[in-house]
Amino acid sequence: MRESLVGHLCAPGEPKRGLTLEAFSHAGEHVLEGVLHDGAGRWWWVAGGVPRLLPPSMYRNPELEARHGARLYGLGLSLPAESAGRGRLHRVQTQTIDRFGHEWQVFREGGYHDAAVVGDEPSFRGGRWIDTLSAFRSKTFLEGLIDGALCLDAGCGNGRFSAAAAASGAAGVIGVDIGWGVDAAFDRHRDNPKINIVQGSLFELPVRGVDAAFSIGVLMHTGDAARAFRSVAGAVVPGGLMAVRMYHRGNWAYEVVDGGIRRVTTLLGKPAQMRFARAMARLGQRLDGPARMKWYRVLRNWPTVHHNLDWWSAPVASHHTSGEVVRWGRGAGLEPIRVDPPAEQVRYGFWEWPEALTVLFERPAEAEVEAKPIAAVRGAIAA
């Protein structure tokens, strides 16, 4: 992590205290090992160049504890006691770290390829850099609106959309993810001064004061999409933007089929999940063509292994509507400025249910504050 990132970080949970960095080792501009602490006894590791702002029940590093225990003692920081997380959301988060962490180890290069064909992935879907740029434009509506902005990528995975935001004019991007995809993201972007990576939970987001936030295909995997939405929205400054992309609720047949498949796939081991994803990709490739769009309204099996693994291995995958997400935004003090499909649409024909929804919000400027334009960055993160 770069030391300039500290000013945009805060302690997870409440209160949102600022953090102090104690660096133990460097590599170029990055702190590779160290601790971040809030001055009240709480602290978190910087390990492998990434701030690990998770509770001890989700992240422990015995190697660093052994190596730097004396330095922690000198700082007045004690090693955390062994603890086990409790509750449904904690279980979902630990399972998410495991499953999505595995995904981004297998597909570290997903979204960055420049080749026409990648392994057994068809050339027309997903894995190429041009696909990433196109998806960022169509799934956030932020094109042309983030020039010079500091952006938050909420659920960054391997960092491909963080890179797309940087390529689309953002002056800085902070990618946050709960899983091991942060290691792939840091390795790829460590030399890009625009991009910083943080491991943390969206429920206790350790980032504040961003001009724009976006979350592409992530909130529905958190176990409480509305709560994660509110947390991300809280990081956006007056006059700032927030874009959300999520899977839309489907027709009754899709909900029954998808729910039945997930009741099995979420219990499988990772090798079995991969075999299932490959089998569904082969089926999707055979069905590709005009008829596929109707088939897809009942069974959303992609013609790519990665997409199938991403969807059916996730511990939770909830479905929502535009109207529902618009209500979340207004409840968080945001106003929708572009909604697709329209929030007013409440009835669809059996074959007409949309696959996904995208909503772009703006946080209105406070009356007593002269909000700066989105192009002005709050702090020179790359300084």
CB proximity list for 11: less than 8 A, separation 6 or greater: 17, 18, 19, 38, 42, 53, 206
CA dist., res. 55 & res. 12, Å (int): 9
Specify the pTM.
0.92
Residue 173 has pLDDT above 90, yes or no: yes
* pLDDT over 70 percentage in the chain: 90
CATH superfamily of domain region 87-383: Vaccinia Virus protein VP39 (3.40.50.150)
* pLDDT number for residue 120: 56
* pLDDT number for residue 239: 96
* pLDDT number for residue 285: 82
Q: Which residue has the higher pLDDT, 303 or 168?
A: 168
Beta bridge partners of 174: 152, 196
HSE on the CB side for 86, CA within 13 Å?
1
* pLDDT number for residue 301: 85
Indicate the DSSP class of residue 28. T
Residues 306-316 pLDDT 10s: 889 999 999 99
Residue type, 102: H
Indicate the DSSP class of residue 15. S
- Token digits for 134? 């196109």
Q: In this structure, are residues 382 and 172 in contact, taking their beta carbons and an 8 Å threshold?
A: yes
CA dist., res. 88 & res. 54, Å (int): 17
Residue 197 has pLDDT above 90, yes or no: yes
Q: What share of the chain is helix, strand, coil (3-state, %, to 5)?
A: 35, 20, 45
Q: In this structure, are residues 3 and 381 in contact, taking their beta carbons and an 8 Å threshold?
A: no
Residues 22-77 pLDDT 10s: 999 999 999 999 999 998 889 999 999 999 999 988 999 999 999 999 999 999 99
pLDDT, the chain, mean: 89
Give 174's pLDDT tier (boundaries 50, 70, 90): very high
- Token digits for 237? 């400054």
Angle formed by the axes of helices 129-140 and 160-167, to 10°? 80
Averaged pLDDT, 224-240: 97
Backbone angles phi, psi at 35, to 5 degrees: -135, 150
* pLDDT number for residue 90: 87
Q: Which residue has the higher pLDDT, 28 or 81?
A: 28
Residue type, 327: R
* pLDDT number for residue 368: 40
- Token digits for 183? 């290691």
Cα angle for residues 66, 175, 248 (degrees, 5° grid): 125
Q: Where are the domains of the chain?
A: 3-74, 87-383
Beta strands in 76-229 (DSSP E): 150-154, 172-177, 195-200, 210-216
Give 300's pLDDT tier (boundaries 50, 70, 90): confident
Element (H, E) at 282: helix 270-287
Residues 93-147 pLDDT 10s: 988 888 888 898 888 888 998 865 555 565 556 788 999 999 999 999 999 999 9
Residues 346-365 pLDDT 10s: 788 898 889 999 999 999 98
Residue 289 has pLDDT above 60, yes or no: yes
Q: In this structure, are residues 69 and 63 in contact, taking their beta carbons and an 8 Å threshold?
A: no
Q: In this structure, are residues 150 and 205 in contact, taking their beta carbons and an 8 Å threshold?
A: no
Give 151's pLDDT tier (boundaries 50, 70, 90): very high
Residues 258-279 pLDDT 10s: 999 999 999 999 999 999 999 9
CB proximity list for 155: less than 8 A, separation 6 or greater: 176, 177, 178, 202, 215, 216, 217, 218, 219, 221
Residues 132-144 pLDDT 10s: 999 999 999 999 9
DSSP string, 124-154: TSSSBHHHHHHHHHHHH--TTT-TT-EEEEE
* pLDDT number for residue 231: 97
Q: In this structure, are residues 236 and 213 in contact, taking their beta carbons and an 8 Å threshold?
A: yes
Q: Which of helix, strand or coil describes residue 200?
A: strand
Question: What number of helices (H) and strands (E) belong to the chain?
Answer: 11, 11
* pLDDT number for residue 82: 65
Q: Which of helix, strand or coil describes residue 290?
A: coil
CB proximity list for 185: less than 8 A, separation 6 or greater: 156, 157, 158, 159, 162, 175, 177, 195, 197
* pLDDT over 90 percentage in the chain: 69
Q: Which residue has the higher pLDDT, 9 or 117?
A: 9
Residue 377 has pLDDT above 50, yes or no: no
HSE on the CB side for 338, CA within 13 Å?
14
